[in-house]
Chain A
Amino acid sequence: MANARLSIATPGAEAIQLKGWLGAHKWLILRRISQFAILLLFLLGPWFDLWLVKGNLASSLTLDVLPLTDPYVLLQTLVAGMLPISTAFLGAAIVLGFYLIVGGRSYCSWVCPVNLVTDLASWARRKLNIKGSGVAIDKNTRYWMLGATLIVAMLSGSLAWELINPVSMMHRGIIFGMGFAWAVILAVFIFDLFVSKHGWCGRLCPVGAFYSLPGKLSVVRVTADKRAQCDDCMDCFVVCPEPQVIRPALKGEAKGIGPVIMAEHCTNCGRCIDVCAEDVFHYATRFANRAPRNAPKPTPPVVG
């Protein structure tokens, strides 16, 4: 496209013209509201003595009845050789069930505070016109990381990963006190900005890798249902934190691939919906993934 070069620095410019700024940032704004609202819920207690939610993302208690536990932390505890009491299992089951519905990595884009840091790095990367993807790290490295954190937990008999996990450290730090954890968060920012594009969330983070697993089965998904209208402006690829997930759904019609993004790494952030001037993308469920009629023999979507 004529404006393809322009779109890398300012993706969504066309969408803003067509839908207005608000229309082209709808899901981004809702996502930021979600991220800050979750932080605020945890901070209402310490700041205003309003104890709606206690604890942090590792485990919390809402309105003194609803226990929530991070299933990944619970898994680390289990492989470290401890059998927690039932509250933790109940909390983890609720969380897992929730993400099986709304999308595994919705955690990453709608809840996780580190997303604010890496989105900022991503934005700065575009503004600073840093080209290329920096140090190439395989997308599946995160699964190796996931496995490694569990093996280290098993061998050390402790939650070793939680000593340096930027995700839990940042959330806990904001609510309970940061200490030197800001350095770890700064390291993630610099890593994403200068070392590797989408390097933390999209390549390494074992928390995201863990939530990718329910993401294989989860219900709510983004669909490129109007993919026929795509004019190849590439804006969605520029803003997507996991650009590889788009291609099969957007361009797979000829191969008989359905329009729903079924890849487990899609974070359901909805940024592609925002920036698309042609209104190609929408939220849908996995059940909307019907292959086009008269299509050649369906082949499994290439994901990763």
Chain B
Amino acid sequence: MAEKKYAITRRKFLMDTARTASAVGIAALGLGGYARVATGVPAPALRPPGALDEERFNAACIRCGLCVRDCPYPTLSLAELGDGVTVGTPFFTAREAPCEMCDDIPCVAACPTGALDHALTDINDSRMGLALISDHEACIAYQGLRCEVCFNVCPVRGKAITLELQHNKRSGMHALFIPVVHSESCTGCGKCERACILTEAAIKVLPFDLVKGKMQETYRLGWKEKDKRGEALVTPDIQHRFNLPAGERYDYYGKGLIEKAENDKGDDAVNKADSPFSANPLDTLNKKGGL
């Protein structure tokens, strides 16, 4: 009797265990699948400074919100269910409240797990994202208007965004002051996007990997290789020369041939001179309307 009871109990035990294990297993599969879709950040959401790469961040961040609490600005918040960001993890949106790049980086100091890497001690080394002039049609600098707001608010001013002068083809006589982002200095703080004067920002800060391109390893840019080595790699670097009719040479702006200046002593002299014009201003005046 006792033996029989034992046998039934064992069978029941095994069945019950199998049933529980299966039910939990199915739930776990569901959770695993859900984790795939529910883990991540939409492009406009940026991680705090020092955040590990997204995959490791999702393992290391315990969603405690201490970084949010120690952020002195209304920048960081914890994602709520439905925000699209991994629930409970910290993020900020540049257009709403950018990172103010505190010198002491209190958010990183507050992180109890190192999901925000404590090795980050200089806020200028942080890479929260990368700014991108996403709309050349809307950016008024491309229309030839002076703006430069993104350039001026940039905390890494003059390095992360520079202004490159280009010829204004429309007017033919003005310059375009084109903002250009440099990834080696841009921290992705988002102040440029915040400050962009347009209704919709034409400069946007997006996750670094989403923006940054990469050349094939095989590319060798001659001028960079030369800089690295200090001299030309293949043949000795010689001054390029044209074979022009005697007394004539190219002007400095490539507009065509110009005649030999009166005091020109030939090609050798030209090469020595810095300018096609005579060092003596009287020579130019005496030409009466030349050049």
Rounded to whole angstroms, the CA-CA distance of A67 and B58 in the bound complex is: 21
A97 within 8 A of B: no
Binds B, one of A16-24, A145-153, A236-244, A255-263: A145-153
The contact of B70 among A54, A155, A160, A162, by CB within 8 Å, is: A54
Known: A152-B35, A180-B81. A84 touches B58 (CB 8 A): no
Cβ-defined partner of B80 (8 Å) among A80, A140, A179:
A179
Among the 9-residue stretches B112-120, B126-134, B148-156, B159-167, the one with 4 or more Cβ atoms under 8 Å from chain A is: B112-120
Are A70 and B62 within 8 A (Cβ)?
A: yes
Known A-B contacts A85-B118, A148-B27, A152-B31; A163 and B38 likewise in contact (beta carbons under 8 Å): yes
Complex contact B24–A145 (CB within 8 A): yes
- A residues in contact with B68, CB < 8 Å: 176
User: Complex formed: what's the CA distance from A145 to B118 in Å?
Assistant: 33
Are A179 and B81 neighbours in the complex by a CB distance under 8 Å? yes
Query: B28–A151 contact, CB under 8 A?
Result: yes
CA distance A159 to B110 in the complex (A): 20
The answer to whether B180 has its CB under 8 Å from any CB of chain A is no
CB distance from A67 to the nearest CB of B (A): 6
Query: When chains A and B are docked, how far (Å) is the Cα of A56 from the Cα of B125?
Result: 29
Most A C-beta atoms less than 10 A away, residue of B65, B79, B115: B65
Chain B residue at minimal CB-CB distance from A67: B112
The reply to whether the CB of B187 lies closer than 8 angstroms to some CB of chain A is: no
Our pick among A55, A147, A157 for the contact of B66 (Cβ within 8 Å) is: A55
Q: How many angstroms from the CA of A166 to the CA of B102 in the assembled complex?
A: 34
Question: Do A59 and B59 touch (CB < 8 A)?
Answer: no
Stretch at the interface among B83-91, B234-242, B264-272, B279-287: B83-91
Asked whether, in the complex, the Cβ of B69 is within 8 Å of the Cβ of A148, the reply is no
Bound-complex Cα distance A184 to B34 (A): 15
- Chain A interfacial residues counted at CB < 8 A: 57
Check A160–B31 contact: CB distance below 8 A: yes
The answer to whether B87 touches A157, judged by C-beta atoms less than 8 angstroms apart, is no
B288: Cβ under 8 A from any A Cβ: no
Q: Contacts A84-B112, A144-B21; is A159 near B83 (CB within 8 Å)?
A: no
- Inter-chain contact A157/B58, CB cutoff 8 Å: yes
User: Which residue of the partner chain B has the closest CB to A73?
Assistant: B62
A158–B63 touching, CB < 8 Å? no
B 15-31 contacts with A by CB, 8 A:
16, 20-21, 23-25, 27-28, 31
Q: Is there a chain B Cβ closer than 8 Å to A91's Cβ?
A: yes
0/1 per residue, B62-106, Cβ < 8 Å to A? 111110111000000111111100111000000000000000000
A141 within 8 A of B: yes
| Residues of A with C-beta under 8 A to B65 | 54-56, 172, 175-176
- Are A169's CB and B60's CB within 8 A? no
Minimum CB–CB distance from B80 to chain A (whole Å) comes to 3
Q: Does B169 belong to the interface (CB within 8 Å)?
A: no
Are B24 and A69 in touch, CB under 8 angstroms?
Answer: no
Taking beta carbons and an 8 Å cutoff, which residues of A are in contact with B?
45, 51, 54-56, 58-61, 67, 69-70, 73-74, 77, 80-82, 84-85, 87-88, 91, 138, 140-141, 144-145, 147-149, 151-153, 155-164, 168-169, 172-173, 175-181, 183-184
The 7 nearest A-B residue pairs measured at CB? A179-B80, A59-B64, A160-B35, A80-B59, A84-B113, A158-B58, A148-B28
